[in-house]
Structure 1
Amino acid sequence: MGGNGSVKAAMVEAAPCAAMVLVEGSIIGLTIMASTAMARGMSPFVFVVYTNILGSILLLPYCFFYQRERSEDAVFTLKFMVRVFLLGLIGITIAQNLAFVGLSYSSPIVACGMANQIPAFSFILGIILRTIKFDWKRSGSQARVIGTLISFAGAISVTLYRGPTIRSHSSPSLSAAPPRLFVFLAPHENWVLGCLLFAASSFTLAIWNILQVGTVKMCSNVMKIISFYSLFGTMQSAVVALFFEKNPSAWRLELNFELLVIVLTAIFSSLIRTKVLIWCTRWKGPYFVPAFKPFGIPYASTFGCLLFADTFHIGSMIGAFLCGMGYYTVLWGEIKENEAQRLDDSRNGSSTAEKVPLLHDKDSGEV
């Protein structure tokens, strides 16, 4: 009995880790599928609109029916609606459009690398807005500065140095190879532009993270906040897409691969991933989910090396890994800083509200 109990306890402890590994793997898989859909001619603006329309429909019940708020929750007030409107504008309309347009010019490995810039951008914004207490004497502050520099070095490396491909284009076996089912590198690539768009998306999501902390304090029901800002973001994205895509054929849907990607992306992003992230955060704490974010880099690198070796560049992989190292360094420094802050608060008899994002981005450059 004791042995069975220990095995069961180990499985329960391992479940959140397994869930996050599967989530990050699914994100990369769907990102590659989205890259393929856009390589086949689908507009990234239309893709954002359709995935969010379906996602908003799936989330609509949370707006009005599920999980009643506590008496102090301020829902359906002007201040709350303005906040979720801004969350939709920043997190969906701006960030997602920048990310998917960037994907149409580059590749999923860039999405992985640039998504890991968010903690560095958040740290810089925190210093500018004076929401972070910076002390050079503390190891946490030092780690966050070093991690930020490593992250930016990785981003610059991804942008400016691609290096040789894993396998040469001139290989005889490649010339006779049939067309691929999936596309990793955009056929009409503009690598620098794609990297800059992804960086802009990550910076936007850093702003989004700051805004959502105050929103969670107004409404404890995270799913309800997500459903509202998804609805606003969908409407705003539709306006943007109508401005950029005036060709009616760009909006036509058929029973094909592109529709499959839209449906899978919407279901995964709006329901599956959101539920898993909230569950893991409540079960394992606020730093558990962010710790798995760089896992997308080895996933993308493995897929790139094995399946897309003639279009996957060694320099891109090295730069993305540098971004991941910077991410973990900044995250470690943030943990140390929060521990020191809690210790100071306990000595002073006060408490500090948790500033780790609870509404994890709907994905930062990925699906």
Structure 2
Amino acid sequence: MAGYKQKLFNRLKPFIGVVFLQFGYAGMDVLSKAALNKGMSNYVFVVYRHVFAFVVMAPFAVVLEKKERPKMTFSIFMKIMVLSLLEPVIDQNLYFLGMKYTTATFAVSMYNVLPAITFLMAWILRLEKVKLKSARSQAKVVGTLATVAGAMVMTLIKGPVLDLFGTNGSNSHNQQNGGVNLQHAIKGSIMITIGCFSCACFMILQAITIEAYPAELSLTAWICLLGTAEGGIVALIMERKNLSAWSLQWDTKLLAAVYSVVCSGMAYYIQGAVMKDRGPVFVTTFNPLCMVIVAVMGSFFLAEVMYLGRAIGAIVIILGLYLVIWGKSNDYESSSTDTKEPVLPAKQTIDESNGKDEHSNYQVVTINNLGAGNIERDEQV
């Protein structure tokens, strides 16, 4: 019984990890929007976010991975440099700028296109196989198009206000004329979409890097450290005439910076660990959960307005997203069946070439295992 529970827990660990990530991201989105509303610079916020994360994660990396940490090479270091540029600098700054123009709910809803973008980039890079005659491949393509369409609906269509929790009426400053809101929505959506592309590149490159540098805590510490340096350069340039932007007091700004340890520290570590088993697409498939959490929290704590058009767009995004997931899961389930295709040519090769004894015996054992399931031990000699 103990063995069964351990096996069940090991199977559930990736799901527990990504669900925890989405709750963490939801809290970060709400606190970030509150800090930005109080005038905090998004450039400075990104720097503080990774400073706190590095201070917390670095000691764990030094102690726990002292014997496991591989040697740092120039190639690995350059990959980490690019990682720290893609996510801590480009993605987060564009995401927070987009959030300034819109709302926390809108920003996290737009971010639901991330799994589709990740899938599309994997397809272009030939990391994802797509056969247009296959039902599951068609689901991937249709789902990708649906997420993009849903994002456009959220951006361009507003509709009536949905007062789901009875708290939106107090948010009068967001209920401006349609032209201004539309302009802000377009600017914000463009920034968030570019951030999604940057984050998708980060996910794929992190999955590649972690194979050569399988030390998640150390990799997280390096990303936070280099992200602090690169983000600091950007912040110094953008806020060179506003030194007061660096000041922190005992308010929401400080709370958001401290809480960011969850997203800029633990998040990099957890998603890196999950990627080892499930890949980058799996990590991004739970984003809709974050949208639901932020929508509820944003209505209660930020009094954000939820429009019908945005709700419809979000539903379309979720449906498209899970079409992509369905196609991916079927591919994963059928992968063992697909590997059986080269069995017959392999057997023919064994019959035709008797000189390669070790390779031939290995193939015979593999075929017998797949077919009858019983072999005699003297066949392996």
Give the alignment's TM-score, normalised by structure 1: 0.78
Offset at 1:41?
0.6
Which of the residues 249, 252, 272 maps onto 2:244? 249
Alignment partner, residue 215 of structure 2: 221
5 Å-filtered alignment, 1:223-302, equals: 223-246=217-240, 247-265=242-260, 267-274=261-268, 277=271, 289-302=283-296
Pair 1:209–1:242, CA change in 2 (3 A): same
Report deviation, 1:13. Answer: 8.2
CA contact (8 A) 2:24 2:263 kept: no
Are 1:204 and 2:194 an aligned pair? no
Separation in 1, partners of 2:313, 2:122: 25
CA RMSD of aligned residues (A): 3.7
Residue type of the partner of 1:220? P
1:83 matched residue in structure 2: 79
| SS across alignment from 2:162 | coil
Spell out, residue by residue over 1:310-347, the C-alpha distance to the aligned partner (whole angstroms, 9 max, x if none): 62222112212222222221122122233444432354
Shift of 1:251: 0.9
CA distance change for structure 1 residues 18 and 143 in 2, over 3 Å: closer, same or farther?
Answer: same
**14-23 vs 47-56, which deviates more?**
14-23
Match of 2:329 among 335, 341, 346: 335
Residue pair 2:26, 2:294 contacting (<8 A) in 1 also: yes
How far apart are 1:194 and its partner, in Å? Answer: 0.9
Identify if the C-alpha distance between structure 1 residues 308 and 322 changes in structure 2 by more than 3 Å, giving closer, same or farther: farther
Cα separation, 1, equivalents of 2:275 and 2:202: 19
Q: Aligned partners of 1:208 and 1:16: how far apart in 2?
A: 19
Letter in 2 for 1:218: A
Alignment partner for residue 321 of structure 1, among 315, 323, 327? 315
| Equivalent residue number for residue 356 of structure 1 | none
Q: Deviations over 1:45-85 (max 9, x none)?
A: 111111111111222235544324659x4x31100100000
Matches within 5 A, 1:53-202: 53-62=51-60, 64-68=62-66, 73=70, 75-167=71-163, 190-202=184-196
| DSSP 3-state at the match of 1:117 | helix
CA distance in 1, matches of 2:126, 2:14: 34
**Are residues 141 and 8 of structure 1, via their aligned partners in 2, closer, same or farther at CA, if it must alter by over 3 Å?**
closer
Question: Structure 1 6/81 Cα, relative in aligned 2: closer, same or farther at 3 Å?
Answer: closer
SS in 2 for 1:259: helix
- Contact 2:210-2:272 within 8 A present in 1 as well: no
CA shift, 1:145, in A, is 0.1
What is the CA–CA distance in structure 2 between the aligned matches of 1:275 and 1:185, rounded to whole Å?
40
* CA distance 1:113–1:135, shift in 2 (3 Å): same
Structure-2 change in CA distance of 1:95 and 1:150 (3 Å): same
Residue 146 of structure 1 deviates from its aligned partner by 0.7
Asked if the contact 1:55/1:270 (under 8 Å) is kept, the reply is yes
The one of 42, 45, 69 equivalent to 2:43 is: 45
Aligned positions, number: 335
Question: 1:231: how far off?
Answer: 1.2
Contact 2:207 2:275 in 1 (8 A): no
Aligned equivalents of 1:255, 1:103: Cα separation in 2: 23
Cα gap change, 1:77/1:23 in structure 2, threshold over 3 Å: closer, same or farther? Answer: closer
Unaligned runs of 5+ in 2: 347-381
Cα drift, residue 232 of structure 1: 1.1
Which ranges in structure 1 are unaligned for 5 or more consecutive residues?
A: 351-367
Q: 1:234 to 1:306 in 2, by over 3 A?
A: closer
* Larger fraction in helix: 2
Tell me if the contact between 2:107 and 2:192 (Cα under 8 Å) persists in the aligned partners: yes
- Cα 1:7–1:99 shift into 2, 3 Å: same
What amino acid sits opposite 1:58 in the alignment? V
Q: Distance in 1 between matches of 2:174 and 2:337?
A: 47
The structure whose Rg is larger is: 2
Identity of aligned residues (%): 27
- The answer on whether the counterparts of 2:220 and 2:265 sit within 8 Å (CA) in structure 1 is no
TM-score, with normalisation over the residues of structure 2? 0.75
